[in-house]
Amino acid sequence: MSFVNFKKKEVQLKIVYYGPGMSGKTTNLQVIHRMINPTARGDLTSVATSGERTLFFDFMPLVAQAFEGYETRFQLYTVPGQVIYNLTRRLVLRGVDGMVFVADSQWSKMAENAESLANLADNLALQRERLGDIPCVLQYNKRDVPDATPLHYLEYLLNNRDVQLPTFNAVATTGEGVFETLNMIARLVLHRFLAVNKHKEDGVRELVLV
C-alpha cells in the first residue's frame, strides 16, 4: 500500500528485505547507508539483540526524485530471519510495496532458503497478497564463499515459476550487486505503483517504462 500526499507532493513506498537468518539482509542496508550520498538517506535504525542479530527489524528511509515535482520516499526494512520471529515478519510486511529476497549461496543453507521463501508466500497469503503480484527481486548473495551453490541450482530451487523473478548475484559485504538490486526493486515498485493507479483515468497520464 503506497501512500501519496498531494499537498506535500510526496510519495511513500515500502520495500522489505526478506530471507533466512544471516543471509546478508542487514549488510545490504549497511552498505547502502555507507555508500550512498548522505543527502539521499536517513539514519539506519537497527532493533537488534546484543549479538547483532536482527530482533525486530532494520529501517532506513531513502529519498529520490522518481517523479517530476514529487519527493519519493522508499522505506527500506529488513526482517529477522530466525524461524521463531514470524510474528515480527508479519508486522513488517504490512503495507509492503516490493520485496528483495536475499538468498544465502552457501551450500548448507539451501533448505533454509527454500523454507524462508515458502514462509514469505505464507505470510503474504495471510494479508491476501501473492508473491508474483507484488514486485520481488531475488538476490543470490555470498557468491564469494568457497562452497557457493551453482546458480542453476539456486534458480531451480528458488526461481522455478512461470514468470521468473529478476535475479542479481551479490557479495553484499563488498557492495557487489547491492545497488543493482536496489535500483531494480525501486524501478519495479514504481512501475507497479503507476500501473495499479492507472485505471483512475488521467490520474497517471504517462507510464514511461525505462
Partner 1 sequence: MSRTLNENTSNELHRTLCDLLVLSEADDCLLCDTGGYVLAREGDGDHDPYQMAALGAGVYGASRELARLLGEREFNVVLHQGTQKSIFICAVHADALLVIVFSQNASAGLVKLYAKPAAVAVRALLEDARRLAMEAEDLAGHPLVLNRAGPLFRAGP
How many C-beta neighbours within 10 Å does residue 35 have?
11
Spatial neighbors of 42 by CB under 8 A, at least 6 apart, are: 60, 61, 62, 63
| Secondary structure class of 203 (helix, strand, coil) | coil
Residue 78 pairs in a beta bridge with 17, 58
Fill in the per-residue mask, 26 to 55: x = in contact with Mg ion (CB under 5 A), - = not in contact. x---------------------------x-
Instruction: Choose, by CB under 8 A, the member of 48, 70, 134, 155 that binds partner 1.
Output: 70
The dihedral through the CA atoms of 34, 36, 37, 42 has a sign that is negative
Over its C-alpha atoms, the chain yields an Rg (Å, rounded) of 17
Q: Taking a C-beta distance cutoff of 8 angstroms, is the pair 188, 98 a contact?
A: yes
Structure letter (DSSP) for residue 66: -
Out of partner 1, ligand GDP, Mg ion, none, which partner does residue 121 contact, by CB within 5 to 8 A per kind?
A: none
Site for ligand GDP in 121-150 (CB under 6 A): 141-142, 144-145
Q: Taking a C-beta distance cutoff of 8 angstroms, is the pair 142, 106 a contact?
A: yes
Out of partner 1, Mg ion, ligand GDP, none, which partner does residue 75 contact, by CB within 5 to 8 A per kind?
A: partner 1
Spatial neighbors of 138 by CB under 8 A, at least 6 apart, are: 100, 101, 103, 158, 159, 165, 166, 167, 168
Closer residue to partner 1 in complex, CB, 38/146 = 38
Q: Which stretch binds partner 1 (CB under 8 A): 17-25, 129-137, 155-163, 183-191?
A: 183-191
Does residue 134 touch partner 1 according to CB under 8 A?
no
Site for ligand GDP in 93-112 (CB under 6 A): none
Residues that bind ligand GDP (CB under 6 A): 19, 21-27, 54, 78, 81, 141-142, 144-145, 171-173
Residues that bind Mg ion (CB under 5 A): 26, 54
Residues that bind partner 1 (CB under 8 A): 1-8, 11-12, 14, 32, 35-37, 40, 42-43, 45, 47, 56-57, 59, 61-62, 64-68, 70, 73, 75, 77, 87-88, 91-92, 94-96, 175, 179, 182-183, 186-187, 190, 193-194, 196-197, 199-208, 210
